[in-house]
A and B are shown apart, each in its own frame.
Chain A
Amino acid sequence: MLEIKNLHVDLEDEDKTILKGVDLTVEAGKVHAIMGPNGSGKSTLSYVLAGRDGYEVTQGSATLEGVDILDMEPEERAAAGLFLAFQYPVEIPGVGNMTFLRTALNAQRKAKGLEEMSATDFLKLVREKAATLKMDNDMLKRPVNVGFSGGEKKRNEILQMAILEPKMCILDETDSGLDVDAMKLVAEGVNALRNEGRGFLVITHYQRLLDHIKPDVVHIMSNGRIIKTGGPELALEVEQNGYEDIKAEVA
């Protein structure tokens, strides 16, 4: 599904290399987790894949279903099936959440050569998905993420994911700023979307999210590289011993 090969990335404004040769393949139907200490390059990886400005790819490639995505505009990547759940979802005053969701859905449908979804079908779809995430009408009517709590913002990300039905979902520290109940709700939303055709890349600091979203593969990232890959047990090892032990072991 998602194949990253020898990816090297610099920050455009500063002479600084963040990713120093990332290799990673996420298969359809699998959940991969990336763990790592602060500054290891996890969020940069997610932004580079989503197409944010400010990064320069100096080497390597990233493909989605065999198609190179690094030369695509962010909206083209989204239409190709890539979805990034933001660590810090952006507030957009003046744009209603429903308008936002509908514009996004119809833009993607248009890019795929499909007809726009009718207002009634759309409303039905949103209501249904929102109900499972315990999002009320008020949250749908309000401007995008404005006045939302941390948990509400993350639920809104998952709602977008549920509506846009991407092939490849990247979750960037979706657990940050969530209490246990909110995390469960978000994890349930993600688990409901797991299926054979969809790949997940879950980026997190802590093991606790992975109690709820059970990964198939766990990667440890440090200093711009994947330094260790293993099964779910690797996450537990991190929880018990911290990253330093693994770093020392690999070095």
Chain B
Amino acid sequence: MALPQAKLDATEARLSGATRPDGAAWSNAARDAALARVRNAGLPHRRDEYWKYTNPETLVQTDAPEAALFQSDDTPIFNGIDRLKIVFVDGVFDAEASDDLSLEGVKIERLSDAASVDIHWAKDLYGVLEERGQTPVARPLAALNTALATDGIVIHVTGKVSKPVNLIYHHRSTSSDAILHHVIKMDPGTEITVLENGPAAARFNKVMEVEVADGSCFHHVRAQGRDHERRAATHVFARLAEESVFKSFTLTANGVLTRNECIIELTGDNAKAHVAGACVGDGDFHHDDTVFITHDAVNCESRQVFKKVLRNGARGVFQGKILVKPGAQKTDGYQISQSLLLDGDSEFDAKPELEIYADDVACSHGSTSGAIDEEGLFYLRARGVPRDIATNLLTLAFLAEAVEEIEDEGLRDEIVGRLEGWLERRRG
């Protein structure tokens, strides 16, 4: 079917200013194929059903809208955690600011290096999970990323990695337009924690592809930058093999536009995938969590836990789908999306979807929007807790179910600390 003219024009306008990076034959082929996917689907348009609640215009337009830099004296998150730092400034790897990339149990390379090597394992992963994730719903911004990304990190996990790998994104130019693509391949029985933080750029398009092998365990904790004017479209694609575990948590505080997509395929029996998000937004904040989980094996578990605190007209979106394929018996799927609306101007749009083709499954889902619990508020105040502190306490309590998805206590404390700080600054 031919694309609508407006979409075609927008897509060609965006691609005309871009050049496909040149590397080894395999990476050139992967990028060309991705480019074809972009042209075939066309870049997102506000009339697309999948973008009904989030206008993609500024994510698609040729130049990134300017975004002022955010000044803060706060200690950056995860600073107190022993980790391997990998720093990107406006989407470009900064070797000097990064730690030495050698670490036991893992081999880390820059994407630009790996993509220039004629024979590299990344050939079997780069753009592969992204392409699988294009059906049944097209994700053209992810294909655009595969086509144009020059930088990113390529990680081969060969053992139990002793400390987290922390991808740190700095935003230094008000008009930076960053595209990063990370690829993570885990060997069977391995374990890694990947942390991400920082605003990255004025506009950020990021893809992460994760191959979670038999019995391996992937932990992901991310704190998206507080720069209010930044825009981000991110995709995490994961494929889970037998007995593997994937857990991803995202904290978002501020940001005029964030679209986080997470696309997971459970392809091996007894695998577990948990995706959680806590976001706090004020004013012209717009945050969209879009999740697509496919159960294609027996006895797998998936959990989606998304909590949003919205005030002063902030807007939250959740689109979450569980697809249970024929034969994926004993599936245990859970999905909850909730918003706490701190005033009458804020809005939350939720689109939970279940599509089930197996007859022995348990899938539950729920979505709510509500104000602060007045009963709880009075109870706390009757014990002497001032209204503003009581409100913050109840707000943190509301977010707790999502935050508790983070297994590591130290990381959980870091996230809670950020949430407390955000609420504290807006107290009264």
B398: which A residues are within 8 A, CB to CB?
Answer: 94
A window 155-206: CB within 8 A of B: 160, 164
A95: which B residues are within 8 A, CB to CB?
Answer: 393-394, 396-397
Contact A84 B384, beta carbon cutoff 8 Å = no
Task: Give Cα A31 to B62, complex, Å.
Answer: 77
Contact B380 A104, beta carbon cutoff 8 Å = yes
Indicate with 1 or 0, residue by residue over B360-398, a CB within 8 angstroms of chain A CB atoms: 000000000000011110111111111101100110111
Contact A51 B383, beta carbon cutoff 8 Å = no
Task: Give Cα A99 to B397, complex, Å.
Answer: 11
Closest B-chain residue to A111, C-beta based? B384
A73: which B residues are within 8 A, CB to CB?
Answer: 381, 386-387
B284 beta carbon closer than 8 Å to chain A: no
A window 31-66: CB within 8 A of B: 50-53
For chain B, the bracket of interface size reads 20 to 34
Contact B394 A92, beta carbon cutoff 8 Å = yes
A40 nearest CB across to chain B (Å):
22
Task: Give Cα A26 to B380, complex, Å.
Answer: 25
A86 beta carbon closer than 8 Å to chain B: yes
A107 beta carbon closer than 8 Å to chain B: yes
B29 beta carbon closer than 8 Å to chain A: no
Contact A104 B383, beta carbon cutoff 8 Å = yes
Task: Give Cα A107 to B381, complex, Å.
Answer: 10
Number of residues from A at the complex interface, CB < 8 A: 30
B12 beta carbon closer than 8 Å to chain A: no
Task: Give Cα A50 to B202, complex, Å.
Answer: 51
A99: which B residues are within 8 A, CB to CB?
Answer: 393
Known contacts A75-B386, A78-B384, A104-B380; A53/B374 CB under 8 A: yes
Contact B394 A78, beta carbon cutoff 8 Å = no
B401 beta carbon closer than 8 Å to chain A: yes
Task: Give Cα A210 to B52, complex, Å.
Answer: 64
- Which residue in B384, B390, B400 is a CB contact (below 8 Å) of A108? B384
Contact B386 A107, beta carbon cutoff 8 Å = yes
Contact A93 B397, beta carbon cutoff 8 Å = yes
A79 beta carbon closer than 8 Å to chain B: yes
Indicate with 1 or 0, residue by residue over B261-294, a CB within 8 angstroms of chain A CB atoms: 0000000000000000000000000000000000
Indicate with 1 or 0, residue by residue over A79-122, a CB within 8 angstroms of chain B CB atoms: 10000101001111111000110011101100100000000000
Task: Give Cα A52 to B378, complex, Å.
Answer: 7
Interface of B is mostly: helix
Task: Give Cα A30 to B411, complex, Å.
Answer: 52
A74 beta carbon closer than 8 Å to chain B: yes
A164: which B residues are within 8 A, CB to CB?
Answer: 383-384
Among B382, B384, B394, residue most surrounded by chain A Cβ atoms (within 10 Å): B384
Closest A-chain residue to B401, C-beta based? A94
Contact B379 A75, beta carbon cutoff 8 Å = no
Task: Give Cα A107 to B385, complex, Å.
Answer: 6
A107: which B residues are within 8 A, CB to CB?
Answer: 383-386, 389
- Which residue in B374, B376, B384 is a CB contact (below 8 Å) of A92? B376
Closest A-chain residue to B400, C-beta based? A94
Indicate with 1 or 0, residue by residue over B24-44, a CB within 8 angstroms of chain A CB atoms: 000000000000000000000
B397: which A residues are within 8 A, CB to CB?
Answer: 92-95, 143
- Which residue in B373, B376, B385, B393 is a CB contact (below 8 Å) of A75? B385
Task: Give Cα A107 to B386, complex, Å.
Answer: 7
A12 nearest CB across to chain B (Å):
13
Contact A90 B375, beta carbon cutoff 8 Å = yes
Contact A160 B383, beta carbon cutoff 8 Å = yes
B372 nearest CB across to chain A (Å):
11
Contact B383 A90, beta carbon cutoff 8 Å = no
Contact B380 A92, beta carbon cutoff 8 Å = yes
Task: Give Cα A111 to B389, complex, Å.
Answer: 13
A75: which B residues are within 8 A, CB to CB?
Answer: 381-382, 384-387, 390
A110 nearest CB across to chain B (Å):
9
Known contacts A92-B376, A92-B394, A95-B397; A74/B389 CB under 8 A: no
Contact B393 A104, beta carbon cutoff 8 Å = no
Binding site for A on B (CB under 8 A): 373-376, 378-387, 389-390, 393-394, 396-401
6 contacts between A and B (CB under 8 A): A74-B382, A78-B383, A91-B376, A94-B400, A103-B389, A107-B389
Cβ-closest 6 pairs across A and B: A94-B397, A78-B384, A104-B383, A74-B381, A94-B400, A90-B379
New contact pairs (9) apart from A78-B383, A107-B385, CB-CB < 8 Å? A51-B382, A74-B381, A91-B376, A94-B400, A99-B393, A100-B380, A107-B386, A108-B384, A164-B384
